[in-house]
With several copies, the nearest count.
Chain A
């Protein structure tokens, strides 16, 4: 589904966030991106939905070049991808309902479908009671969950989640992970950048570890850190 070939990303100020990264992500897989702060995890995900374009190399999504794509096509790429942004990116002047409904209006969903689907996803992330409040009236974890709800509402082909449990308590984090697994089971590809050691170690999925913009580890049933002896 996603192919990156010798991708290098240097930001205009000279920081090389990704350095010669080649990776291939199968449709329907569940992938953890791990690595220290500043390793390039977010940058890697941003290349997929073309928030950034690579300095060198190729990014393909479903066989189509993302970096050579024309500007007009970009919105249609993004509609196939649900993103949980590390900084949430909620529209400050819209309620929780309207924030999620906006993602549906963009794809011209019917009013009926919006009325049915938005409460459903809010229920899934445990925010049924916060339908009509504005983002600044939510706690950090609640904002994060709104962002998760928005990412899944259109049932995209791919979900990119950047640190989706950073502001959640362990119980809530577990619930969100269960939700992600459920969505993945239905065929959606999931790419998740995370620092949550416990979660990664428990789930035993493919782990891609970045460090200084390079892939330092890529294991099919990996753990958060390099295995030293048996898994705990």
Chain B
């Protein structure tokens, strides 16, 4: 293939884009809508996973000492916890603090603690964070065996539930993404198939003056790829705009929900969508052309 033929291919692709402008716009819009759906589900999945991870890493194990443990022994247990290689963080909550905390948690009804007078029925305790939340069950079991530890609490199953949830969110997200991706390819294949269908006569004429299949294919293929790419640009712009708004809203209204806003993440999303757009456009063109090339 000579270089000038390459130029011809690009020229044809662009000319066709310009000439069938409303058709091009429709195709771009279709790609954009599909990728928008795809993109938002990707973002939702990644974010909810991220949130669950953040949540999970906030989970802690409460190691409660016997009420009457001497301070020395409490310190020993604390050191042991701090030096454990699966533990990332240990906070000590002395008796006094525990009482205050409890009162706060009880809110209005906490007033009734006044009935307790000066007694402090609370023990010393440690809040322990695991490096990997999945180790919590193991750690809890281990801590239980330490001396003068009355009991170990770690959310009574919340951690497992959250981790489970994260797993299901990932699975569900993959399913949704798969479906949406399929729908997108289908929509674009349909669109491009129709444009090729509308031009089947032309394809026949080209073949009858001696054009090879690839000579006919390339301009269509490039056209499809450009359409896909432009569509992904539109999708990314809209998606990022909507995401910025959503992030702002979430961060003010639901501050405890973690969202990802780092440029690397956004760039990755852009890359994925652009690649998907181009691939979808190319795939759509190829699928559509197969039928009409047997002239």
The reply to whether A and B meet directly (CB within 8 Å) is yes
- Among the listed B4, B204, B209, B212, which residue makes an inter-chain contact with A102, where contact means beta carbons less than 8 Å apart? B209
Contact with A along B4-20 (1 / 0, CB 8 A): 11001000000010010
A72 contact set on B, CB distance < 8 A = 212
Whether A103 pairs with B8 at a CB distance below 8 angstroms is no
When distances are taken between beta carbons in the complex, the residues of chain A under 8 Å from B19 are 93
A83 CA to B212 CA in the complex, in Å?
A: 17
The residue in chain A whose Cβ has the minimal distance to the Cβ of B1 is A108
The answer to whether B4 touches A111, judged by C-beta atoms less than 8 angstroms apart, is yes
Which residues 1-53 of B have a CB within 8 angstroms of A?
1-2, 4-5, 8, 16, 19
Decide yes or no whether B241 CB sits under 8 A from chain A.
Answer: no
- For residue B77, CB closer than 8 A to chain A, the reply is no
**CA distance in complex: A79, B212 (Å):** 10
Q: Which residue of A lies closest to B2 (CB)?
A: A108
What's the interface size class on A, roughly?
20 to 34
Q: Which residues of A contact B151 (CB under 8 A)?
A: none
- Once bound together, how far apart are the Cα atoms of A105 and B8, in whole Å? 8
B207 at the interface (CB under 8 A from A): yes
- Asked whether, in the complex, the Cβ of A85 is within 8 Å of the Cβ of B2, the reply is no
Q: Is the CB of B208 within 8 A of A85?
A: yes
Of the residues A92, A103, A111, contact of B209 by C-beta under 8 Å: A103
* Residue in chain B with minimal CB distance to A107: B210
Q: Does B238 contact A (CB under 8 A)?
A: no
Q: Are B202 and A92 in contact (CB under 8 A)?
A: yes
Q: Mark A64-95, 1 if CB is under 8 A from B, else 0.
A: 00000000100111110101010001111100
State A37–B211 Cα separation when bound (angstroms).
30
Residues of A within 8 A of B204 (CB): 89
Docked pose: A77 CA to B207 CA in angstroms = 11
Interface centre among A72, A89, A92, A106, by most chain B C-beta atoms within 10 angstroms, is: A106
The answer to whether A106 and B4 have CB atoms under 8 Å apart is no
A124 → B minimal CB distance (Å): 18
Interface residues of A in 11-29 (CB under 8 A from B): none
Q: How many interface residues does B have (CB within 8 Å)?
A: 20
Cα A110 to Cα B5 with chains together (Å): 9
Query: Which residues of chain B from 197 to 247 have any CB-CB distance to chain A below 8 Å in the complex?
Result: 201-202, 204-213, 215
Nearest chain-B residue to A49 (Cβ)? B208
Task: Please encode chain B, from 240 to 276, with 1 for each CB lying within 8 Å of some chain A CB and 0 for all others.
Answer: 0000000000000000000000000000000000000
CB distance from A94 to the nearest CB of B (A): 9
Q: How far apart are the CA atoms of A79 and B1 in the complex, in Å?
A: 16
Contact B202 A78 (CB under 8 A): no
A102 touches B206 (CB 8 A): yes
**B5 near A105 (CB under 8 angstroms)?**
yes
Give min CB distance, A66 to chain B, whole Å. Answer: 14
Residues of B with C-beta under 8 A to A106: 206, 209-212, 215
**Contact assessment for B209 and A150 in the assembled complex, using a CB-CB cutoff below 8 Å:** yes
Contact B5 A75 (CB under 8 A): no
In the assembled complex, which residues on chain B have CB atoms less than 8 Å from the CB atom of A219?
Answer: none
Q: Please state if B202 and A75 are interface contacts (CB–CB under 8 Å).
A: no
Contacts of B4 in A (CB 8 A): 108, 110-111
Residues of A close to B202: CB separation below 8 A: 91-93
Q: Does A51 contact B (CB under 8 A)?
A: yes
Q: Across the interface, which residues of B come within 8 angstroms of A49, CB to CB?
A: 208
Judge whether A89 and B205 touch: CB under 8 Å. yes
Write the nearest CB–CB distance from A44 to chain B, whole angstroms: 16
Among B8, B16, B210, B213, contact of A79 (Cβ-Cβ < 8 Å): B210
A100 to chain B, nearest CB (A): 10
A93 to B202: give the CA distance in the assembly, Å. 9
Residues of B within 8 A of A51 (CB): 208
Q: How far is the CA of A91 from the CA of B208 in the complex (A)?
A: 11
Smallest CB separation, A152 vs chain B (Å): 12
Interface contact B210-A91, CB-CB below 8 Å: no
**Nearest residue, chain A, Cβ from B294:** A71
Which residues of B line the A interface, CB within 8 A? 1-2, 4-5, 8, 16, 19, 201-202, 204-213, 215
16 A-B residue contacts at CB 8 Å?
Answer: A72-B212, A77-B210, A78-B207, A78-B208, A78-B210, A79-B210, A83-B209, A89-B205, A89-B208, A93-B19, A105-B5, A105-B8, A106-B211, A106-B212, A108-B2, A111-B4
Residue numbers of A with Cβ under 8 A of B are: 49, 51, 72, 75-79, 81, 83, 85, 89-93, 102-103, 105-108, 110-111, 150
5 closest Cβ contacts across the A-B interface? A78-B210, A79-B210, A75-B212, A89-B205, A106-B211
Given contacts A83-B208, A85-B208, A93-B16, 15 further A-B contacts (CB under 8 A): A72-B212, A75-B213, A76-B210, A77-B210, A78-B210, A79-B210, A83-B209, A89-B204, A91-B206, A92-B202, A93-B19, A102-B211, A103-B210, A105-B5, A106-B210
